[in-house]
Amino acid sequence: MATDNYWGTTDENLIQKQLVDFDTNTNYADIITSPYLDKPSEETYPCVSDIYITDKNGDKVDTVGNGTYDVHVLFNRDMDKNTDPMVSYGPDDPYTDYTLKGQWNSSREWVGKMPIKVLINQGHQYFRVKDAVAADDHWLTTGTDWGRFEFDVTASGAEALTLQSEGRVGSIYLNWTQDEYDTMAGYNIYRSETGEEGSFKKINSSILSSEEKEYEDKKVEAGKKYYYYFTVVDTAMSESRPSNITSNTAVDDKPPVIKHTALKSITNGVGATITATVKDNIGVEGVTLFYRMEGEDNFKSVPMNNTTGNYYNAHINAEDITVGNLQYYIEATDGTNYAYSGSIGEPNIVPVESKAYISAVRAESGIVGKSMTGTVKGVNFNENDKVVIDDKEVDTEYISAKELKFTYKPEYMGKKDVQLTENQVVVSSYKEAFDVTDPNVRVYNEDTLLTKELSRQQYVNIKTNYVGVINSLEVTYSNTNDLGTQLGYISCNVSRNKKI
């Protein structure tokens, strides 16, 4: 058994590599290591418990580029702060290519400075730590800890070529720094619209001088994202590796365009729907309706929905509206700029009137010649209101300010519009509220049967407000002895497409 030990790692594969047991030689017994410690005990021999690297911002990193970094060496027990450990690193044994200098941050942490030059240090590196001394016993020193803690030096993490960008109105401003090259001819700037490898193209017509550290790209579209990097051109006209890639967007200074026709009036108790078309050269980010009744202190707001294309609408609930004047304005933004139809200081103003309004009609399908009843639903009804169907007033019963009942005897078939009059003036209407059929007539339109067929032996006058072409009119008689005479009385005043 070899449990409750610290193996210098928690990687079971690495732990197994440190063992010679049944897994490597069947002549030996199997060594059981689990459970194991994830850090060394304070009671054991002094050793390195961890090594990590931080950048100039104090963030931990395991890949470094050009710049100076802090290397933190941690120990399992208090160490003698008067004796510095030997800390170095390199790509291969004995890992002493580069030695670090530093100082104790505490009795268990030593911090060294690690300057990196990518062109010199590039590649996979391993730390080596030796000869740290225990604080309570100078005979106890750390052994040579090597190959356990590693890091990478790579150009992709280099800070020597640093490019920054700023979006401006009509342009993208670039500025850069570099400390990798002392002698050079200048710089080249590369741009891409996607940021994908192989898509970058040089945008400066001639090499920028070594004294220049900024560039303004004016050949850009507002709101469109661009990606950039720069290279250093040496005196032999060879280019360096690319810098970091930066991206930015030229500032959009064009606000959205709102087209809106202000409402002329609103019926109290119904609510109101506000519509507008909104366009922007980049894209509309949001449209908001602000509203209040005149005399209220604050505007309420509701987002306007993009129903289709450039069309937006929002509904103001009936409970938010009373008789008086409704004030409202529309605000649209593309994320940077704002546009208005009306404003908080000069809103659109629309009167709210207490007039009758039909919201629904409840009636079953009627039959020509038979009385029927129906209900009209809405708001602001009074006892003087009359229901009108087929341009004639019908018997109307006032139930409440929200309901009327009517009695109606249809004279001809078709879809019926219902109107509401007040002192013989139409104040509201409801299209195609219900159907009326005539059981003695069937009408075909493009071979579609619209009404039933029954027999009837008498002279009839047939009227319809059916909208469409009537291709045929058929009447069936129970007595066909004098059919020719009977048909002589069938006529039609349709001027074309008639077939009798």
HSE-CB for 415 with a 13 A CA cutoff: 8
Predicted confidence (pLDDT) at residue 121 exceeds the cutoff of 70: no
Predicted confidence (pLDDT) at residue 346 exceeds the cutoff of 50: yes
Strand-pairing partners, residue 287, are: 332
CA distance 110 to 75: 9
Angle at 265 between CA 261 and CA 266, to 5 degrees: 110
The radius of gyration of the chain's CA atoms, rounded to the nearest angstrom, is 44
Predicted confidence (pLDDT) at residue 462 exceeds the cutoff of 60: no
Predicted confidence (pLDDT) at residue 450 exceeds the cutoff of 50: no
DSSP 195-262: --TT--EE--SSPEETT--EEEE-S--TT-EEEEEEEEE-TTS-B------EEEEPBP-PPPEEE-PP
| Structural domains in the chain plus CATH codes | 1-38 (no CATH), 48-157 (2.70.50.60), 161-249 (2.60.40.10), 257-352 (2.60.40.10), 357-437 (2.60.40.10), 441-500 (no CATH)
Single out the residue of 12, 56, 6 nearest to residue 36, CA to CA: 6
- Which range, of 66-70, 119-123, 487-491, averages the lowest pLDDT? 487-491
The amino acid at residue 105 is N
Predicted confidence (pLDDT) at residue 33 exceeds the cutoff of 70: no
Q: Is 499 helix (H, G, I), strand (E, B) or coil?
A: coil
- pLDDT for 85 equals 94
- Which range, of 96-100, 178-182, 367-371, 479-483, averages the lowest pLDDT? 479-483
- pLDDT for 448 equals 46
Single out the residue of 434, 443, 426, 446 nearest to residue 410, CA to CA: 434
Mean pLDDT value across residues 4-12: 64
CA distance 423 to 280: 49
- pLDDT for 120 equals 56
Predicted confidence (pLDDT) at residue 130 exceeds the cutoff of 60: yes
- 410-441, pLDDT tens digit by residue? 988 888 999 999 988 999 999 999 998 887 76
- 269-291, pLDDT tens digit by residue? 888 999 999 999 889 999 999 99
CA distance 137 to 113: 28
- pLDDT for 306 equals 96
pLDDT band, residue 234 (cuts 50/70/90): confident
pLDDT band, residue 500 (cuts 50/70/90): very low
Q: To the nearest whole percent, how much of the chain has pLDDT over 70?
A: 78
Single out the residue of 192, 167, 193 nearest to residue 249, CA to CA: 167
Q: Are the CB atoms for 303 and 312 separated by under 8 Å?
A: no
HSE-CB for 235 with a 13 A CA cutoff: 4
CA distance 63 to 156: 9
Exposed/middle/buried for residue 108 (C-beta within 10 Å: 0-12, 13-18, 19+): middle
- pLDDT for 32 equals 58
- pLDDT for 483 equals 45
DSSP 274-285: EEEEEE-SS---
Tokens of 423: 């002192």
Mean pLDDT value across residues 32-42: 70
Print burial letters for 11-49: b (CB count within 10 Å at least 16), e (below 16).
Answer: eeeebeeeeeeeeeeeeeeebebeebeeebeeeeebbbb
Mean pLDDT value across residues 368-393: 93
Mean pLDDT value across residues 337-343: 95
Q: To the nearest whole percent, how much of the chain has pLDDT over 90?
A: 52
- 155-210, pLDDT tens digit by residue? 554 446 889 999 998 899 999 988 767 668 999 999 999 999 899 999 999 999 98
Q: Are the CB atoms for 303 and 287 separated by under 8 Å?
A: yes
pLDDT band, residue 295 (cuts 50/70/90): very high
Predicted confidence (pLDDT) at residue 495 exceeds the cutoff of 90: no
- Residue 62's CB is within 10 A of a number of other CB atoms, namely 11
Higher pLDDT among residues 77 and 26, named by residue: 77
- Which range, of 366-370, 402-406, 440-444, averages the lowest pLDDT? 440-444
- pLDDT for 147 equals 82
CA distance 312 to 277: 6
Mean pLDDT value across residues 469-498: 47
> Model-level pTM greater than 0.85?
no
Tokens of 58: 């104090």
Strand-pairing partners, residue 338, are: 333
CA distance 355 to 269: 9
Secondary structure tally for the chain: helices H, strands E: 3, 39
Predicted confidence (pLDDT) at residue 370 exceeds the cutoff of 70: yes
Mean pLDDT value across residues 446-475: 48
Mean pLDDT value across residues 295-310: 95
